[in-house]
């Protein structure tokens, strides 16, 4: 059923649509090093898709390909059924793909509010003239977008740090602000690169809750890389497993958990 192009309804009542992003036979090489070997997978509308694998498996490279940072030597990418031309990352952001980074990539010189406001840049359009005058369209646009940002701030429960410079925040909150910046863009597809790395159990629980709520309330499609297997198996609808740049497994958490190739990759194979 899951291989078809049709929608289906999950056990907890969410509707998963047809594939939104399809990666077909992607290969990425840096000189002689092959980072990604002939990988094909798709991300369906409304689902939470996890990409897992040991260190150096090519997971982050995969996100960078989706993002337009890397241009694969081979393969095709289809977004909403249309073949995607090679694009710059900022053009891809305008298509509705947002992401967070493994190492927090916030704008350290700006406050929480300003950081999240930058997430709205793809939605702001007033030209130089009106920006310079400020009163009028620029201010109206600012207020409209501020309202969206305030909703994100409420959703993530970070009202108290609205005007704090992000450099002064603890790690867990910085991760949350970064998620806020990505959410403020109201993306169709949200890429999360290790959203829970370095967090304690409570912070992980909070973050998992936010991810599920984002998916549930806004219907945002999410692709995430994560090392915490408990979390991955818990929250994701389908999982892609990578090892040494190749795909070694793909399916529901249960299918992947019982896959011999995946078990070998994680636990190692006995040589004798």
Partner 1 sequence: MFYREAGDFKKTYVEDSQTFPLKLDRYGFYLLMAVAFGVIPFFINDYWANAILIPFLVWSIAALGLNILGGYCGQISLGSGGFMAVGAYTAYKLMTSFPDLNMFVIVLLSGGVTAMVGLIFGLPSLRIKGFYLAVATLAAQFFLVWMFNKFGWFYNYSASGQITAPAREVFGFEVTGATASAAAKYLFCLVLVVGLAWLARNLTRGRIGRSWMAVRDMDIAAEIIGVNPFKTKLLAFAVSSFFIGVSGSLFFSVYLGAIEVGEAFGIQKSFLLLFMIIIGGLGTIFGSFIGAAFLVLMPVLLKNIMVNQLSFPIDIAAHMEFVLIGLFIMVTLILEPRGIAQLWRFAKAKLRLWPFPH
Segment interacting with partner 1 (CB under 8 A) among 19-27, 70-78, 105-113, 255-263: 105-113
What 8-state DSSP symbol labels residue 85? P
User: What CA–CA distances, in Å, run from 199 to 124, 153, 177, 205, 227?
Assistant: 33, 20, 14, 9, 12
Q: Who's near 262: CB < 8 A, 6+ residues apart?
A: 241, 248, 249, 256
Nearest distance in Å: CB 138, partner 1: 5
Q: Give dist(CA 268, CA 238) in Å, integer.
A: 23
- Out of 181, 204, 238, 247, the only residue in the binding site for partner 1 (CB under 8 A) is 181
Among 131, 246, 251, 257, interactor with partner 1 by CB under 8 A: 131
Distance CA 99, CA 223 (A): 9
- Out of 122, 227, 255, 257, name the contact with partner 1 by CB under 8 A: 122
Distance CA 95, CA 103 (A): 24
Q: Please say which residue, 32 or 86, places its beta carbon nearer to partner 1.
A: 86
Answer yes or no whether residue 9 interacts with partner 1 by CB under 8 A: no
Using CB under 8 A, pick the residue from 119, 195, 245, 249 that binds partner 1: 119
- Do 183 and 119 contact (CB within 8 A), yes or no? yes
The length of the chain is 272
Comparison of 222 and 241: residue with beta carbon closer to partner 1: 222
Contacts of 114 (CB under 8 A, 6+ apart): 107
Return the range that interacts with partner 1 (CB under 8 A); candidates 140-148, 195-203, 206-214, 241-249: 140-148
Is 114 near partner 1 (CB under 8 A)?
Answer: yes
- Shortest separation between residue 131's beta carbon and partner 1, angstroms: 5
Please report how close the Cβ of residue 86 comes to partner 1 at its closest, in angstroms.
15
């Amino acid at each position: 059923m899951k291989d078809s192009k049709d929608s289906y309804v999950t056990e907890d009542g969410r509707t998963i649509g047809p594939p939104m992003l399809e990666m077909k036979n992607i290969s990425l090489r840096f000189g002689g090093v092959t980072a990604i070997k002939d990988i094909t997978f798709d991300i369906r509308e409304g689902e939470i898709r996890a990409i897992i694998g040991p260190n150096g498996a090519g997971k982050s490279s995969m996100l960078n390909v989706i993002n337009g940072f890397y241009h694969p030597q081979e393969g095709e990418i289809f977004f909403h059924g249309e073949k995607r031309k090679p694009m710059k990352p900022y053009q891809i952001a305008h298509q509705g793909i947002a992401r967070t980074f493994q190492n927090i990539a916030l704008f350290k010189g700006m406050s929480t509010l300003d950081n999240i406001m930058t997430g709205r840049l793809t939605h702001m359009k007033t030209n130089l003239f009106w920006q310079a005058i400020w009163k009028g369209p620029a201010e109206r646009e600012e207020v409209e977008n501020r309202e969206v940002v305030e909703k994100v701030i409420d959703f993530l429960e970070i009202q108290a740090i609205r005007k704090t410079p992000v450099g002064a925040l603890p790690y867990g909150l910085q991760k949350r602000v970064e998620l806020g910046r990505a959410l403020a863009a109201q993306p169709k597809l949200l890429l999360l690169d290790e959203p829970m790395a370095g967090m304690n159990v409570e912070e992980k629980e909070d973050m998992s809750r936010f991810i599920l709520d984002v998916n549930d309330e806004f219907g945002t499609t999410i692709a995430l890389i994560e090392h915490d297997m408990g979390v991955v198996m818990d929250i994701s609808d389908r999982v892609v497993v990578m090892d040494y740049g190749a795909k070694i497994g793909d399916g529901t958490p249960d299918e992947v958990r019982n896959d011999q190739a995946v078990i070998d990759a994680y636990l190692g194979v006995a040589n004798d």
